[in-house]
Amino acid sequence: MDFCKNYSLPDWTSGFEQRKTSVSQLPYEEYTGPMEKSASDANNYRLIRLPNNLVVMCVQDADTEGAAAALSVDVGSNMDPVELQGLAHFLEHMLFM
């Protein structure tokens, strides 16, 4: 059973340019293509890809004093190995508790 057959991932193979962090000179890629957002959305967005291929979206809200982070992974219990049923749920608790 293919749960993702109607889901298509964005094309994250193009539109990225090589960059380095200012102090440590660590490599990363930054998306320079167009991003769609609502005309009423005043936030600033950056999309970067780290050397381990993790794609990160940074959202800057000038009206907010705090900071937050969120993580989305496109896997779940249907991807658990047969010998490790419950692994996804266990890791969820390890990350978020």
- Residues with catalytic function: 92
Q: Could you tell me which of 60, 70, 55, 59 has the C-alpha nearest to residue 15?
A: 55
The residues with which 59 forms a beta bridge, in sequence order, are 45
Q: How far is CA 44 from CA 41, 63, 74, in A?
A: 9, 12, 25
CA distance 70 to 86: 22
